[in-house]
Structures are given as structure tokens and as C-alpha cells.
Structure 1
Amino acid sequence: MNAQELRDKTPDQLREQLTELKKEQFNLRFQAATGQLENPARMKTVRRNAARVLTILNEKAASAADAE
């Protein structure tokens, strides 16, 4: 997932994707705590993707506020 793909999505789609990423992050943390995590690098990837989505959402909110 790159930033350009995210910029093409609507804010609702971004919020939905953020919710999915947060759920996945929770599941990965749970797996890590119980010793069942197969790919520890996935935690870093999910965390960074969630940060990307939040950044794009904030950019969109700022541009909408400037347009008004």
C-alpha cells in the first residue's frame, strides 16, 4: 500500500481501512503475547500502514478546512 493509492480513496474508505488495520494490529499483539506470532515483521508493517492512513486522513481534513 502506498500513499498515492490512499490519496485516491474517500475519507470513509480510509476510516474503514484504518479500522481493519487496528483490528489486525490487535490480533497480531494477541498472537505475540501468546507466542503464536509467525511473522513479527508484520506488526511493523501494519503499524506503519495505519500511520499512513491517518496521515492521509489528516491531509484531507486540512485541505477541506482550507477550502472552506
Structure 2
Amino acid sequence: MKSSELRDLNDKALREHIATQRRDLFGLRLQHATGELENTAGLRSGKRALARAITVARQRGIDPNQKTADNG
């Protein structure tokens, strides 16, 4: 997702996107550790996508580590 698309999201949707990106990145790291990951470039793009979302959240003054209502 592009930065401009992330900026269009409301705060709740941005927090959910960050949580989803973290789950996806965890899954990629797990697959990489077990040798199941074929496309290792996905790790790099996943990290960048998460960093992009966290950056947008911090620019808005949102705590990116805060749990969402349905998540925690």
C-alpha cells in the first residue's frame, strides 16, 4: 500500500493495517526460519510496508504499538 493510500485511512483502519502487517511479517519470518519461504524478497518488502505504515501513524501522533479494541 502506498503512503498516500495510508494517509487516506482513518486512525482505526491504520492501526488494523499495522497489526495485519506485523502478523504477515511474523509469518514470513517463521517460513524463512523453517526453510519454507521461496521468495525471500517478501521479507524486505514486508518490513518496508510495516515501516511505511508506522511512519504515517507517528506523523499523525498515533501510538503504533497500541492494541486495537478487537486485538487486545
Q: TM-score range by the shorter chain?
A: 0.7 to 0.9
Per-residue CA deviation, residues 21-47 of structure 1 (Å, 9 max, x unaligned), is 100111111101110001100011110
Instruction: Using structure 2 for the length normalisation, give the TM-score.
Output: 0.81
Give distance in 1, aligned partners of 2:14 and 2:50: 10
- Give the alignment's Cα RMSD to 1 decimal: 1.2
Query: Aligned-pair distance for 1:61?
Result: 1.2
Tell me which stretches of 4 or more aligned residues in structure 1 moved more than 4 Å. Answer: none
Instruction: Using structure 1 for the length normalisation, give the TM-score.
Output: 0.86
Q: % of aligned pairs identical?
A: 37
**Residue 33 of structure 1 aligns with which residue?**
33
Give distance in 1, aligned partners of 2:15 and 2:51: 12
Q: Which runs of 5+ in 1 are unaligned?
A: 63-68
Query: Aligned-pair distance for 1:13?
Result: 0.6
Aligned residues: 62
Letter in 2 for 1:26: F
